[in-house]
Structure 1
């Protein structure tokens, strides 16, 4: 297939593109290489892709609707994997308009481009577990049938808006779409704004780490390879008759923040100095994916548990940053 991957220089986009190339697809990657975090990491990811046959990199702002529409029209894509977005819950508190442009206008531009693309088989896009709002720890995993109308950050609100926009376009124009609610993705080539990455940098530098929520939080940490398994599995199975599915994709095994830190300390061979702080605005207490629907559709079964995934991340981090 000929596939467009937006956010191809991002964490999930980079890994997904490699998997698609591995299986013989041709991929055009799109990214704007913004400076939300170090662009050098994004360019390093992109360099691993541009070295491969079957890949073409395009630098473009998603919100440039005319340019995006021309790209989709001219290339004749079979499918679009839309992973480009402004990430970060806490950043959305201080920089709200970055989310309006990238996540709202950008998603609309993708929908409009796909609407006018004859022969498009499937649009897969990234949503987020944050749409569920704040839930207490314990109990059953979050199910797609549960209410998701009380997000507690602007980032989460834009992701829920993306789902509603996609549902509308599927209804009006019969564009087959699947939204994936990602649960705390981590692993090699990860994002520096995520806790595991930041903790690793500070511990190796001998700096204290800030532990929000006084450590009483839990996350359904999901290893990048498992995420890509789900993305590609869904891509090959579009909803029938131009339908729209929204599915959880996670590890189904939430781990407490303090337990994660202990695993990281073991992998690094160092103990962290911890500064305990209250919850930050926009944060949620816990995430926990029920992935029964994704498993039924694709056979999805996460394979990498957190301790092993952290060890793999630490090996990559030490090699990449030579520390």
Structure 2
């Protein structure tokens, strides 16, 4: 790309990132219609700034051939753009297209983080979700078989929680005969104080009690907890044992002696997510999906490791 074209692109980008002006959307559309040739320059701007701006990630979704260009940059360079190309691929949900060498590099980084996690070291996620399922014991095989989970992938706690809750974690697809099919990312935490914690997205809130019952049937005991982020007086907790209801669901409005908010109930009856930050070994968490043809890397969003 010649210097004049590069300067022109940077001038357009500066204008589009600035204040609104008449015809801005038309200018943006014409700019993005240039396709793959603008991709490297956008990554070059990101490298200058030290971060990939969110607006660039939005633009990449509209640029034809962007993923192919990112893969080319990952393969051929320039070197200073490779990390931003990887993040951009993840933002498009195209990380599953990485070549084996790149995939191995990502897996090595995860293993390094997990080696630290094996000594109890882990970064706290941006926030803990307000709903989770706890399962007594350490039977990962029983959990995944009962819920029909696929593509188990080792993950750190921040990586797993972000994948299951904060980034894209639910995909709708068209199946046979045009019927919709769904895929979701689930994070199964490392064992902590004799329990594993399952983190899942908002789309599965309606399954919390059902999952607790089903998992208690194969693991002996499982609980469901829910805190409403928008209403501090709303929430519930539930205990399943041996495949059926044992206690609950109790909400704040119940007139039960054992009434308690979900966090208090979880701390008393099993574990809260905060317990993960005090664990001695956090190296055994797993990301999984609910669809056999969808891996954890098909979802959009770059994950912290």
What TM-score do the two structures reach when normalised by structure 1? 0.24
What TM-score do the two structures reach when normalised by structure 2? 0.25
Relative contact order higher in (CA < 8 Å, ≥ 6 apart): 2
